[in-house]
Structure 1
């Protein structure tokens, strides 16, 4: 209920975005209609399986067919992430008792990685969080077949999940489960190569768009050698690592289970995209939360049998830290219990009023913050259209400032249509609308609505 209320309230207050909620809704909407999942927000013929590999989204299509709208995706994400609390809480209570178990379960539920994901639209990673939670709990309980069964569907969530699958295979191998471990070690990297080298390029004119986030002048060996220097060059990477370590008071690293997080974490740290190093309103950290918390539970369970004072003190620290971090993070702009995230203003009301004036089925160019309110009933592209798409309506919020790409690779991504337009581009496109046959229909508190009234001269 908390996750759903937070997510729907953000959407109501126009704090979701076309990049990425609108994109995912366009894909799921197409699946629900048995159509190719084309996502006009990224381009006229952009296939969603050429953007990222997440066929698991098909499972949302029946629900979207019954309840069409971006809200369905947000509710689904809330349910999926809430489901992940079940194995974490059950394991914590069984190993550590009711009091400590429920404390850690609540700490996990409000951990900064989970809050960050809920504060940034919908993402396919919502499926990975419960799958990983159940898989990790099964590993601790030595239910090897169940662990494999929960792990394999990760390959349908995203192209990089094969790294985690291989890491779980390595853990199984270390535990003596040779056949299962070897199978996952082989399946994980094979799936990554297949999706990145074959499937994604097949649906994307022969290329993998996000290769721009890797240094083209470095091979894997060179990336490994330059990695320590990259941490010093970009302190935000060190902040991410420090917060992950402090999340469990450093205790989680005492078990090999924590190593399962390493491959996917390293893939982010070698990226040239600064967003991949963020600790705030991003979804990337959500998959690390069940790994670290289940690892913490295993460590605390082992510490319980150790009577030494040092171990008792460390155990208490490791128990307290997750909850303290969860309470601290509610004060952030994206915090789930921050009251600012629930406050309505006249500006948001103005946006909703102008959005209601756009007719169903219209071809619309919408600002990033307004697009997901139209993708369920209109054909929506981002404003200004970057591929010359013809639209009859334009609606955008001039008060929302979209920042420019922060790196050379992000500039390349912007040119490839992988980055929303900047505020300067938006204002320049608005000034050009009258010459293109558009007339202003309404304006309220910085939100503007235009309609095509004549063909461009």
Structure 2
């Protein structure tokens, strides 16, 4: 029996402290950004309002239904792990609870990555990973654009990558099951983990890689069956972006051309892996996500402005750590001794890493500027948020059915039954609320707002917010 190296044990202690420190710092930073956007009135129905309604349903022991989305969320994405949000909602029934939970998940993922980097590659690499990781655009887009189920995937992917690198099969199985319960496409990533295990440990045979791949395949099949059961007749409408089935009715711009923008996620992965990390076998795990995003007709899947890159984030960072660790291993040192030294990189590799670091920070600064995030918003509430709450408290009965513009609904959950004021849904409601904020996602045309006001039984205005009481419960469509 081989006893643990005293030297390895001595490095695990600072690794834990580095990991915890990075997790706490990242959690606080992401929470400030998310709550700042909430207080500034920049949170949206899509997706905070949707997931808040889902969490409210889970908390009451019901299947997750969102009136904003217009369907059961188990017919939208296969994410049973989000039942844990129901537990959070029972404790703190407000959308900011989900923002804080997501911040904790993202912070935990970075803590795992930094702790491993400190243990395997030393403090210099850990410090680089902490700085690059916390300010990566891939994770900032998630932290600053409400909430998404992929925050759970970030933690599981970090654990799965480390399990692969450390030859820890049981841990890999746990992380794989976690992933297939997070979202339907992540079964493909788990299948890729089976391929990576075979590539890394070919001498062991096929049993373990086949088991991992089987978990991935089973996850996809179960997800498709559940999605079909909760969305009868169509299953997940997102397959329409790949030429399969019918549309999910989301007004997303599509492009079937061979646009070079399809390669943007690939470039993001190269930046996340600091160029040289692409040589790691962990890169196999990124391939399914890069492929399905690249071949889709949904232009949002190609863009770097949404949450999709957070799947690549832990893979790229740990792929870099893997390559650096191998470059820095002391000649004659063994894996059992866990002996590492300062990375021995060639000049061009150091230059490539430097360029990637600068590119990563530039992308992060651009994202924060685009989102106009002001951390000071954490300590003050914007007038538009106050106006939404005041109008609702003064004129809406508890549980009222309200059709809302995309920048309103999340602020009415859970006290009121919010619906989406969009042409593809036509909800049956008693009230309508919208704002005059310019350049908002899914903005209601001004002529449609004017028509709603003209036909209203009663109208209340406060600042940029308008609340309309309809003559009777009716289906509303924001058309002119």
| TM tier relative to shorter chain | 0.7 to 0.9
Which residue of structure 2 aligns with residue 368 of structure 1?
Answer: 406
User: Post-superposition shift, 1:11?
Assistant: 0.9
User: Post-superposition shift, 1:302?
Assistant: 1.5
Q: 1:356 aligns with which of 386, 390, 401?
A: 390
Q: Is the 8 A contact 2:50 2:69 kept in 1?
A: yes
User: Aligned in 2, Cα 1:145/1:335: closer, same or farther, shift over 3 Å?
Assistant: farther
Which residue of structure 2 aligns with residue 285 of structure 1?
Answer: 309
SS of residue matched to 1:334:
helix
Q: Is the 8 A contact 1:363 1:393 kept in 2?
A: yes
SS of residue matched to 1:293:
helix
Q: TM-score, normalised by structure 2?
A: 0.80
Which residue of structure 1 aligns with residue 444 of structure 2?
Answer: 423
Does structure 1 residue 167 correspond to structure 2 residue 185? no
Which residue of structure 2 aligns with residue 262 of structure 1?
Answer: 287
User: Aligned in 2, Cα 1:250/1:23: closer, same or farther, shift over 3 Å?
Assistant: same
Q: TM-score, normalised by structure 1?
A: 0.84
Structure 1: gaps (5+ residues): 218-229, 404-419
Which residue of structure 2 aligns with residue 111 of structure 1?
Answer: 136
Q: 2:461 aligns with which of 423, 429, 442?
A: 442
Q: Is the 8 A contact 2:328 2:344 kept in 1?
A: no
Does structure 1 residue 53 correspond to structure 2 residue 74? no
Q: Is the 8 A contact 1:401 1:423 kept in 2?
A: no
Which residue of structure 1 aligns with residue 416 of structure 2?
Answer: 378
User: Post-superposition shift, 1:306?
Assistant: 8.7
Q: Is the 8 A contact 2:45 2:68 kept in 1?
A: yes
Q: Is the 8 A contact 2:43 2:410 kept in 1?
A: yes
Task: Give distance in 1, aligned partners of 2:165 and 2:190.
Answer: 16
Task: Give distance in 2, aligned partners of 1:92 and 1:322.
Answer: 18
Q: 2:218 aligns with which of 186, 190, 204?
A: 190
Which residue of structure 1 aligns with residue 243 of structure 2?
Answer: 215
What does 1:258-407 align with in structure 2 at a 5 Å threshold? 258-280=283-305, 282-305=306-329, 311-317=345-351, 319-321=353-355, 323-334=357-368, 340=374, 342=376, 348-359=382-393, 360-384=398-422, 386-402=424-440
User: Post-superposition shift, 1:368?
Assistant: 0.3
Task: Give distance in 2, aligned partners of 1:291 and 1:251.
Answer: 13
Task: Give distance in 2, aligned partners of 1:233 and 1:341.
Answer: 39
User: Aligned in 2, Cα 1:385/1:351: closer, same or farther, shift over 3 Å?
Assistant: farther
Task: Give distance in 1, aligned partners of 2:138 and 2:364.
Answer: 12
- Listed one character per residue, the Cα deviations across residues 79-119 of structure 1 (whole Å, up to 9, x for unaligned) are 00100112211221122211221221221122111111112
How many residues align? The count is: 419
Q: 1:149 aligns with which of 149, 174, 181?
A: 174
SS of residue matched to 1:356:
helix
User: Aligned in 2, Cα 1:387/1:262: closer, same or farther, shift over 3 Å?
Assistant: closer
Which residue of structure 1 aligns with residue 469 of structure 2?
Answer: 451
What does 1:3-22 align with in structure 2 at a 5 Å threshold? 3-22=30-49
Runs of 4+ in 1 over 4 A off after TM superposition: 335-344, 384-388, 453-456
More displaced 10-residue stretch of structure 1: 98-107 or 365-374 = 98-107
Q: Is the 8 A contact 1:396 1:449 kept in 2?
A: yes
Instruction: Output the aligned Cα RMSD.
Output: 2.9
Q: Is the 8 A contact 1:92 1:297 kept in 2?
A: yes
Task: Give distance in 2, aligned partners of 1:363 and 1:99.
Answer: 55
Structure 2: gaps (5+ residues): 1-27, 246-255, 332-342, 475-480
SS of residue matched to 1:391:
strand
Task: Give distance in 2, aligned partners of 1:266 and 1:365.
Answer: 37
Q: 1:29 aligns with which of 35, 56, 59?
A: 56
- Listed one character per residue, the Cα deviations across residues 30-86 of structure 1 (whole Å, up to 9, x for unaligned) are 00011232210122xx11100110000001211211100110110010000100112
User: Post-superposition shift, 1:22?
Assistant: 0.6
User: Post-superposition shift, 1:328?
Assistant: 1.8
Q: Is the 8 A contact 2:391 2:460 kept in 1?
A: no
More displaced 10-residue stretch of structure 1: 241-250 or 14-23 = 241-250
Which residue of structure 1 aligns with residue 451 of structure 2?
Answer: 432
Task: Give distance in 1, aligned partners of 2:277 and 2:459.
Answer: 58
What does 1:43-82 align with in structure 2 at a 5 Å threshold? 43=70, 46-82=71-107
User: Aligned in 2, Cα 1:256/1:384: closer, same or farther, shift over 3 Å?
Assistant: closer
